[in-house]
Chain A
Amino acid sequence: MNFIDGQIFGEMAAAGIESAPLSSDTEFLRRVTLDLTGRIPSPERVREFTTSDNLYKRTDLIDSLMQSAEFVDYWTFLFANKFEVTSRYYNFIGVPGRNLFYNFLRDFVARDRSYAEVAGEMISAGGDTHVNGPGNFLIRGMQQGDPIQDTWDTITDRITTRFLGVKSECISCHNGARHLEEINLYLSARKREEFWRQSAFLSRMTLNQIPVDAFNQQWHFLIVDRSTGFYSAAGIDVNNAGPRPPRRGSYTPAYMFTGEEPKSGNWRVELARMVTSDRQFARATVNYIWAHFFKYGIVDPPDGWDLARIDPQNPPPAPWGLQASHPALLEMLADEFIRSNYSIRRIVRLIAESNAYQLSSQYPGEWRVEYERYFAKHFPRRLYAEEIYDAMSIATKTLTPMFLDGFSRPLTYAVQLPDSIEPSNDFRIGSFLSNFGRGDWFQTQRTSDTNVLKVLYLMNDNNVNFRTFGTRGVSTRVAELAQSELPDSEAVTQLFLATIGRPPSEDELQMLRRRRTGDYEPWLSDIQWSLLNKLEFIFNN
């Protein structure tokens, strides 16, 4: 019970809405293990957890998961996805730049460094991008072949979206007026000049391209700031003006959200300070974290903030309403985030320990869509491609080592991969991950959509099926069980625990027993196959 619960259950009570009951132990164990580490619990852990009568076992579990190396893997994965620094971003980053950036994030997660500090380092990064990791965040916004202004504008949008939850891209091409009235009250009043002044913070930054090898196929960059200069439309080649409409005039920086101008000549350092000390930075960050656990943000989508609709003391004019479902909670979380010196772990722990997060995904009464914004039950989320792959390998005991450039040891889990192009040496794993929508961190967005090909793949592809057999010379869980002398019900129970994190019900057990007509192995194999195709497997409930 913490202040999250006061807000969530308070709102429900005020509206006369019943919440779903608290999740069962098995439901909670699988859910929180996935949400904190990206992996499913082992059968041993399920047994231990469900039989323990420790009153604080949920809190203890959260503690132990958050202290695990798996937590560091997974949260690094989440942040790496957020910033999409892929070695295949044209040929600007490469494996060395990507590894440096990945390790920068990994260190931040492992040590729970202040996120404000980390964000500031990314915004103001300098030096050689094959020596210093964070600069690659900037290079990821570099626009090949377009005027440098497009690079500044793109990075500006990446900064406001990822750190402040505000997509400012619209006004990088036109004023908000007559475009955004129906979309975003705040941005509808912004002018393109305001965006240019925001972008001007980057206009003293130079990205000096250096070839990595004699053939100039790969580049790294020396990021250096000049002490003079400003944002100007002058000098753009009209025959290569880039994708944005023509620019006019010259601009010095002003922070779009407050109008503040830099106090020193190092404009990017000033920008880093303004962004990370902006209360919206804290709000947006806690909301992004919330959305990871609850599927929806308190402001949703979490990158679609309307800053004119966040203050309950200053509500927007009718017919607009406040954007957040729980404005007070958002502020409390932001306060806590700031108080903890921008500790991601502090917010993660608060959320994971709340009863609000621990509600069941099964709603006993009649569910109504209006209940959704009250978070009256837990919303299942489809696992990410990497999570499905790992869950499948763990469940069937078919973990496969993956070898990566610049990594001294092979990796075992897809959530440990630093980039969407890896493992480049194993096509089968890559094709599995692409099939389930990991995207390429560049042109193809990550997706959790299902389609008919994905279902066909899960049912019929050898990449999945070889893991379900017990007689074909592959070491699998089914093979182990088939050779054991375990009674039928115990073997089935082990498959259930390992694959979907709960024992079979009496009905399920009876049904499966009834279906056993022949040998042990084919029967176990069919059960393993069915479990991998269950909703419970592919969703985090």
Chain B
Amino acid sequence: MKDCLSCTRISRREMMKQAASLAAFMAIARRSDARIQSAGAPVRGTARACIFVYMTGAPSHLDTFDLKDAPWNPPDANIQQFAGGVTLNVTLFPKLSQYAGDMCVLRSVRSWEAAHERGIFYMQTAHPANPAFVAETPHIGAVVSLEKGGGGPMPPFIAPNGNSMQGSTFLGGSMSPMMAPANQGGLSTIEHNYFGTQSQLRFEERFAMLEELEAQPRAAAIDGTLKDHAAYYQSAKRLMYDPAIGSVFRFSNDENLRYGNSSLGRSAIVGRNAIQAKNGTAFVALNQGGWDTHQQMFDKTYAPNMYTLCRELDSAVGNLVEDLRASGDLANTLIIMMGEFGRTPGPLNSRGGRDHHRDAMSVVMMGGGVRGGQVIGATDSNGASIIEPGWRGQRPIVMEDIAATAYSALGIDWTKSVHDTPSGRRFEYVPYGQAGLYTAIEEVF
């Protein structure tokens, strides 16, 4: 592979452009086995979609999912034990506690990073933020889209409240997150409402005119970027005037209030709608910021504090779980909740908060074939370090293992790697997955 930037430079550049369309990418992938390698890992295939809740800022594991009987708990804490050792502070999580039986809590997780930006990158990609490869390290959601997308007109990867997140990089634009903000009124740009009752008819006429004008130039376009751009007109049109698509993005104010009247809540509603509609979406990224509680974390007059953060999460994800359960979709939808690292152990710091800590953190998985009502691993009484891995890996769980587990649930061979990156370096779905260094956590299922 020493020739990576010279001899094969051109074909790779072309490859990048072609890869922007899934069909082209898969055709190439099939044509030459050398481009995709895999160790053929056994996979579960219990989920058809994944909802990933990014608790950015890094939540305190000690005050959310790894509670201790300790003096630092606030006086109003109502800590209850649920089946399988799951414990929750019901004051903070009134709704989620009703679904503790669906939760698998991983307490023996360790982060590679203790800086937000790098940690968030790791959480989104399961790869280090190596500056040389950042531009060719796709989001986990883009890999899921590549593998599971194409099931309908909806984009495979949506991130209603995403901003400046890692995209699909060399996997191309159709695998990139659709960051259409969640608004009650829906997505205004999927309709062309300028002509009253005649709007749709008039749009069809305009579109037909455009198509006729473009037929020849599109056919003649030999340049990949032009072709890609043209292809989006078809996918965009498919989203329009389809009631099933429009309703994914629309919701009532009652629902907004029930989900907590927050950006996270509204995005969770759109995520729920997309999952229930089963019209193409395979990965939903939900984002909740504010977990960087260095000070006054239990002070209700300080923003953000644990009360507002946990209740926002509780309303959004609690109701999401409730609704997906009721519609029968929870069983095949994997939900993951986590932040980029843990927070400092033991008593609160002198400012009433907790600082960055990477030696221990917690991850919650629900639905999608996950066996709920169980805890994997344990930390010491201060929550400082992992004393019991609790799984056959016999070592702390890291982001690579979380990703492998999610891929396995989704039926994706996580030992796969793709060779046609811009630099020519192999992109492994899970770093060192093929070598067996990291692996799916079978105990989760």
Listed in ascending order, the chain A residues whose CB lies under 8 Å from chain B are 167, 169-170, 179-184, 243, 296, 300, 304, 306, 309, 319-323, 361-363, 367, 369-370, 372-373, 379-382, 440, 443-444, 448-457, 459-462, 465, 469, 508, 511-512, 515, 522, 526-527, 529-531, 533-536, 538-539
Contacts and interface: CB of A to CB of B under 8 A. Distances in A.
A533 B233 contact: yes
Interface in B223-263: 223, 225-226, 228-230, 232-233, 235-236, 239-240
A220 to B, nearest CB: 25
A182 B173 contact: no
A501 to B, nearest CB: 14
Interface in B154-211: 155, 163-164, 167, 173-174, 176, 178-180, 187-192, 194, 202, 205-207, 209-210
A437 to B, nearest CB: 11
A530 B206 contact: yes
Interface stretch (B1-9, B82-90, B143-151, B391-399): B1-9
Given A320-B2, A453-B189, A511-B212, A369 B10 contact: yes
A457 B235 CA distance: 13
A182 B226 contact: no
B132 interface: yes
B236 A373 contact: no
A453 B223 CA distance: 22
9 closest pairs, A vs B, by CB? Answer: A321-B6, A455-B236, A456-B189, A444-B164, A530-B210, A455-B232, A460-B189, A369-B14, A450-B229
A455 B206 contact: no
Contacts of B117: 243
A469 B194 CA distance: 10
A453 B1 CA distance: 37
A294 B309 CA distance: 50
B213 interface: yes
B205 A526 contact: yes
Interface size class of B (residues with CB under 8 A): 35 or more
A367 B423 CA distance: 24
Contacts of A536: 217
A531 B212 CA distance: 12
B132 A183 contact: yes
Contacts of B187: 456
Contacts of B5: 183-184, 304, 306, 309, 323
A432 to B, nearest CB: 12
Contacts of B188: 460-461
A380 B223 contact: yes
A405 B175 CA distance: 39
A182 B206 contact: no
B311 interface: no
A182 B229 contact: no
Contacts of B7: 319, 321
21 contacts: A167-B131, A183-B425, A306-B5, A320-B6, A321-B6, A323-B6, A369-B11, A372-B13, A382-B229, A451-B173, A452-B239, A453-B179, A459-B192, A459-B233, A511-B213, A515-B205, A515-B212, A531-B213, A534-B213, A535-B230, A538-B229
B173 A319 contact: no
A321 B3 contact: yes
B229 A319 contact: no
B206 A451 contact: no
Contacts of A515: 205, 209, 212
B225 A382 contact: yes
B306 to A, nearest CB: 23
A452 B155 CA distance: 8
B220 interface: yes
A380 B225 contact: yes
A505 to B, nearest CB: 9
A182 B2 contact: yes
A380 B206 CA distance: 25
B206 A460 contact: no
A451 B131 contact: no
A475 B209 CA distance: 24
Contacts of A512: 209
Given A508-B213, A534-B214, A529 B10 contact: no
A536 B216 CA distance: 12
A438 to B, nearest CB: 13
Given A183-B132, A361-B223, A451 B3 contact: no
Contacts of A320: 2-3, 6
